[in-house]
Amino acid sequence: MMNVGLVCKEGNSEALALSARVFQWMRDNAVPCLMEDHLSAHLSEGRTLDVWRNADILVVVGGDGTILRAVRMSIPRRIPILGIHMGYLGFLSEVTENEFVKALEDMKAGRYTLDERTMLEVSLHRGDTVVASQSVLNDLVINKGALARIIDIEVWTDNAFITAYRADGLIVSTPTGSTAYNLAAGGPIVHPHVGALILNPICPHVLSNRSIVLPDSQEVIVVVKSGRESDRIYLTLDGQMGYPLLADDRIRVRRGAMRAVMVRFPQRTYFEILRSKLKWQER
């Protein structure tokens, strides 16, 4: 039988309580369960094997941020992820607290499919030095601190100049991430199986600047043209990791070789999740 890894948002009482119920179900149903150290300590289960090295599938309890952390940790082994969202559905999870027992029963019986999601490989270059490199599932965001001026940004693709933005920032999103910050900033919703990359300026100074959807076969290079240490301009990757930016820093973005693997159930479609989250009118 496969080893199930249990991952939970640390320090969140509701997530810990729900994780305890999930763990009890696994114990009652003889499902081998691994867990993170903080969760093991909370449940007084003693130290267990490393989740990221030994789990065959992950059950992640929490919001989309917790799932993004699990994706970042699990992609070297392509571990499938089943997200259980507390309260309403999350865009990355399709199982709510009230549905977790049925979902775990289906998971144990193999009644699920695997949905692969494209990720982006992002690298931050300062001169000849690579400052950071990471795969992201949702987006990378360039934005300013509270006192920063408007940011000047150039965007290139495959050695062709696209445009220069004067804006509060820029979002470069995957189709999966199109329903995250990109959507809040007025960007388009793109189905996660479309091979695309979305450029969306945040509060552009020129009102004619709009979102651009590019094929993800192209590499995008973002050049920060303004930026001093006192300006506090940052690059944030999937909302998890942040790096300060300086003038002439270059961010290279391309379709990554790694893919996130999500557990899906046939009874709920992507569009049902959209309708639920966005309160679209039902038929």
Q: How confident is the model at residue 202 (pLDDT cuts 50, 70, 90)?
A: very high
Question: Nearest-5° angle of CA 209, CA 175, CA 243?
Answer: 70
DSSP bridge partners of 82: 59
Tens-place pLDDT, residues 14-60:
999 999 999 999 999 999 999 988 998 898 875 567 899 999 999 99
How many helices (H) and strands (E) would you count in the chain?
7, 17
Could you say which of 64, 106, 139, 231 is catalytic? 64
Tens-place pLDDT, residues 103-128:
999 999 999 999 999 999 999 999 99
- Report percent pLDDT > 70 for the chain: 94
What is the pTM (predicted TM-score) of this model? 0.91
- Does the annotation mark 64 as catalytic? yes
Closest of 31, 73, 80, 32 to residue 53, by C-alpha: 73
CA distances from 75 to 26, 57, 98 (A): 24, 12, 28
Indicate the average pLDDT of the chain.
91
pLDDT given at position 264: 93
List of domains in the chain: 4-112+265-278 (3.40.50.10330), 119-258 (2.60.200.30)
Closest of 258, 139, 113 to residue 202, by C-alpha: 139
Q: Locate 79 and state its tokens.
A: 């571990």
CA distances from 21 to 6, 97, 149 (A): 11, 10, 49
> Inter-axis angle of helices 13-28 and 100-109, to 10 degrees?
40
Question: Nearest-5° angle of CA 218, CA 219, CA 224?
Answer: 140
Residue 275 DSSP SS3: helix
